[in-house]
Amino acid sequence: MTDLPYSFARLDDLMEAAGIDVLLVTSKHNVQYLLGGYRFIFFSAMDAIGHSRYLPVLAYMRGAPERTGYIANKMEAGEHANHPFWPPHFRPMSWGAVDAMTEAVAHLRSHGPAVPRIGVEPSFLPMNAARVLEGAFPDTPLVDATRLLERLRAVKSPAELALMRRASEAITDAMQATIAAADAGWSKTAIIERLRQEETVRGLQFEYCLLTLGASHNRAASDQVWAPGEVLSIDSGGNLQGYIGDICRMGFLGEPDAELVDLLGEVETVQQAAFAQVRAGAAGGDLIAAGEAMLARQPSRACTDFFAHGMGVITHEAPFLMTNHPVAYEGIDADQPLQAGMVLSIETTMLHPRRGFIKLEDTLAVTETGYEMFGTAGRGWNRGGQ
């Protein structure tokens, strides 16, 4: 089990600090993380089946990984036969949420303490499954383990960093290929489909593309077509073996004029000010303060926004650096030191009233002395119709 991205000792310490004896993990991303990278392909895109839903459950007992159980869908027996999962107790018994939790309860009764303090993920625990769990252990309040799992995932292993680097590089390559191929008359829908193909051929699972053309700030797919002399902004997330790449790059159909060069230069100036504060030991809030201070000095500050967030197996995870900007959570890590191995997304967005949506979004891994940027290509104006 040396290839897991975390240590049992670290997990045990976090559980003890949270007052948790047993951890029941039910989100696909955290089950994937604790299993060491596995996600069942049949339910990768959606959960619903029949009258219920897929609910994987990983049950971990503090200090006793040998008692860990994985409650899986019946079809996962074939996955286990080909590539065995590390939990010693594999129970491929379920089709829905109630039978999955019923099996999890049976496993806890056999291998857990009599009155366990149980940590769960409330946002990923269906009501019917929660009722089964509460009915089985009525004297034990369920503890929210969300933050515990966020802390566990915050610092990436070298293998995780390698996946995120590859994901980011594949996205930037796909974006450059897409912008070069797109030409006058291409619709937003057609450009997005081309990006999906470019990302897929590079081994990514396409997740989304937010695209603008011309002066519009609308990033949804549509029949709007790219015209000569117009800006293109392309923002996409791609998934590589469970890890996210999230990048934004700019394109132009023709030769960008001096004003556009200056506008993207403002965005780049803000980005670089934030980058300069990234290193292990620096407070996470320092990069936010530096980006905001530099933004306040830019000519287009009134129509420009800056923010940063952690990323990894999901697009916003620890470290949490800003409060409700733009996603609703508390910036609980702003005063905490960054750690080597954390990964940040740093982005500056200009909604120019005449020239359109101008943005750079970059992925940085924190190092002991600074940072390493993933997917560095195409950060200037990329020409379309090439």
Give a yes or no: residue 3 inside a domain. no
Instruction: Examine the fold and report which residue of 153, 184, 216 is the final residue of a domain before the chain moves on.
Output: 153
Domain end residue (candidates: 96, 131, 153): 153
3-state secondary structure of 2: coil
Q: What is d(CA 220, CA 211) in angstroms, rounded to the nearest whole number?
A: 6
Q: Which amino acid is at 264?
A: L
Side-chain-side CA neighbours of 325 within 13 Å: the count stands at 18
Alpha-carbon distance of 329 to 320, in angstroms, equals 8
Strand bridging mode 22-25 / 57-61: antiparallel
Residue 209 to residue 221: CA distance in whole angstroms: 9
CA angle, 363 then 236 then 204, to 5°: 90
Residue from 276, 267, 210 nearest 237 by CA: 210
On whether both 220 and 346 belong to a single domain, the answer is yes
Residue 3, pLDDT score: 87
Residue 280 has phi, psi (to 5 degrees) of -60, 135
**Alpha-carbon gap, residue 248 to 358, rounded angstroms:** 9
Question: H/E element holding 240?
Answer: strand 231-240
In-domain check, residue 176: yes
- List helix spans (H) across the chain: 8-18, 28-35, 76-82, 97-111, 127-136, 146-153, 158-181, 188-201, 258-275, 284-295
Instruction: Write the DSSP symbol of residue 64.
Output: -
pLDDT along the chain (386 residues), means of 10: 87 98 98 96 93 97 98 97 97 96 97 94 98 95 96 98 98 98 98 98 97 98 98 96 96 98 98 98 98 98 98 96 96 97 98 98 98 97 95
Same domain, 144 and 13: yes
149 and 162 housed in the same domain: no
303 and 188 co-located in one domain? yes
Under 8 Å between Cβ of 112 and 21: yes
In the block, residue with structure tokens 């500050």: 301
Task: Specify if 1 maps to a domain.
Answer: no
Q: Which residues of 165-195 are buried (b: 16+ CB within 10 A; e: fewer)?
A: bbbbbbbbbbbbbbbebbeeebbbebbbbbb
Asked, for residue 253, whether it belongs to a domain, the answer is yes
Same domain, 107 and 64: yes
Q: What is the 3-state secondary structure (H, E, C) of 214-231?
A: CCCCCCCCCCCECCCCCE
Q: What is the span of the domain harbouring residue 265?
A: 158-383
CATH number at residue 56: 3.40.350.10
What is the C-alpha to C-alpha distance for residues 112 and 346, in angstroms, rounded to an integer?
Answer: 43
- The CATH number that applies at residue 303 is 3.90.230.10
My answer on whether 57 and 44 are in the same domain is: yes
| Whether residue 210 is found in the same domain as residue 253 | yes
Q: What's the structural domain count of the chain?
A: 2
Contact between 73 and 93 under an 8 Å Cβ cutoff? The reply is no
For residue 292, which of 276, 310, 271 has the smallest C-alpha distance? 271
Q: Which of 125, 153, 181 is the last residue of a domain?
A: 153
Residue 45 pLDDT: 87
Tell whether 204 and 259 lie within a shared domain: yes
Q: Quick one: 282 and 307 in the same domain?
A: yes
Say whether both 367 and 267 belong to one domain.
yes
How far, in Å, CA of 331 to CA of 50, rounded? 40
Query: Residue 247 domain-assigned?
Result: yes
Contacts of 318 (CB under 8 A, 6+ apart): 150, 151, 153, 154, 310, 333, 342
Residue 221 lies in a domain: yes
Q: Which of 307, 379, 288 minimizes the C-alpha distance to 349?
A: 307
Residue 2 forms part of a structural domain = no
56 and 180 co-located in one domain: no
Q: Round to whole Å and give the CA distance between 119 and 18.
A: 9
Q: Helices (H), strands (E): how many in the chain?
A: 10, 16
Do 137 and 235 lie in one domain? The reply is no
Q: What is the pTM of this model?
A: 0.95
User: Is residue 273, in this structure, part of any structural domain at all?
Assistant: yes
DSSP code string of 146-168: HHHHHHHHSSPPHHHHHHHHHHH
Query: What confidence score (pLDDT) does residue 2 get?
Result: 56
